A and B are shown apart, each in its own frame.
Chain A
Amino acid sequence: MKKIALVSAGLLALALIATTCARQYGFRRSYSQANALLHDSQNLAAKPFLKAHLRNGSICILRDSWQVDTIYRHLEGTGDLYDFNRQLLKQGPLLIDLDSVAVFETNRKLTGSENERVSALTILAGLDLVLGIFCLTNPKACFGSCPTFYLGSGDNLFHSDAEGFTNSIAPCLEAGDIDALDNGRIVGGRLSLMMKNEAMETHVVKEVKIYAVPRRDGERVFHTPGDKFFLCRRIRPPASARADEGDCLEQLKGNDKRERFSLSDPENMRSREEIALAFDPSGMGDRLGLAIGFRQTLMTTYLIYSAFGYMGDEMGGILARLEQDGPRKADLGGIRRELGDIEIYRWDHDGGRWQKQGGFYETGPIAVNHQFLPLDGPNDGREVRIKLVLNRGLWRIDYLALAEIVEQVQPIVLATETIEYIKTGDEPALSSAASPDRPVISMPGDVRNFRFRLPNPAEDYELFLYSRGYYLEWMRSSWVKEKDLGRLARMLMVPRLYLKEEAADYKRYETVMEREFWETRIDNRMFSYYEKK
Chain B
Amino acid sequence: MKRSRLPQAAGLLALLAASCATPVSYLPEHEMVGQETHGALVEIEINDGGRYAGELIAVEDTALVIREETEGRIHCFRVGLAGIKSFTLRYANGVNYGGLVPLYTLATVSHGLWLIFSAPINFLATTIIAVNASSAYELNSRRDRLSFEELKMFARFPQGLPRGITLEMVK
Contacts and interface: CB of A to CB of B under 8 A. Distances in A.
Decide whether A and B are members of one complex.
yes
Interface of A: 1-2, 5, 8-9, 12-13, 16-17, 19-20, 23, 25, 27-30, 48-49, 51, 53, 55-57, 59, 61, 82, 84-86, 102-103, 105-111, 113-114, 117, 120-121, 124-125, 128, 131-132, 135-136, 139, 141-144, 198, 200, 423-424, 428, 443-446
Task: Name, among A25, A57, A136, A143, the residue most crowded by chain B CB atoms within 10 Å (CB to CB).
Answer: A57
Contacts of B140: 23
Q: Which 6 A-B pairs give the minimum distances between C-beta atoms?
A: A142-B112, A102-B159, A107-B34, A5-B117, A443-B1, A57-B162
A120 B139 CA distance: 23
25 contacts: A2-B117, A9-B121, A16-B128, A23-B143, A25-B150, A30-B158, A49-B34, A56-B162, A61-B35, A85-B171, A102-B158, A106-B34, A111-B30, A114-B30, A114-B95, A117-B95, A117-B129, A121-B97, A124-B125, A124-B126, A125-B104, A128-B122, A144-B113, A428-B2, A445-B1
B165 A117 contact: no
Contacts of B104: 121, 124-125, 128
Given A9-B124, A144-B113, A428-B1, 8 more contacts: A2-B117, A12-B124, A56-B162, A110-B92, A117-B132, A131-B118, A132-B107, A142-B111
B157 interface: yes
Given A121-B100, A135-B112, A48 B34 contact: yes
Interface residues of B, number: 60
Interface string B127-146: 01101110111111001101
Contacts of A23: 138-140, 143-144
B80 interface: no
A198 B113 CA distance: 7
Contacts of A121: 97, 100, 104, 126, 129
A86 B37 contact: yes
Nearest to B150: A25
Contacts of B35: 49, 61
Q: Is the interface of A mostly helix, strand, loop or mixed?
A: mixed
A90 to B, nearest CB: 13
Contacts of B121: 5, 8-9, 12
B170 interface: yes
A378 to B, nearest CB: 52
Nearest to A23: B144
Contacts, number: 159
B132 A124 contact: no
A200 B166 CA distance: 71
A117 B35 CA distance: 24
Contacts of A103: 158-159
A533 B100 CA distance: 32
A102 B161 CA distance: 11
Contacts of A110: 30-31, 33, 92, 137
Nearest to B121: A9
Given A12-B121, A55-B163, A28 B126 contact: no
Contacts of A117: 95, 97, 129, 132-133, 136
Contact of A135 (B110, B143, B144, B157): B110
Contacts of B12: none
B9 interface: no
Contact of B128 (A20, A56, A424): A20
A393 B13 CA distance: 52
B114 A135 contact: yes
A13 B117 CA distance: 14
Nearest to B92: A110
Nearest to B171: A85
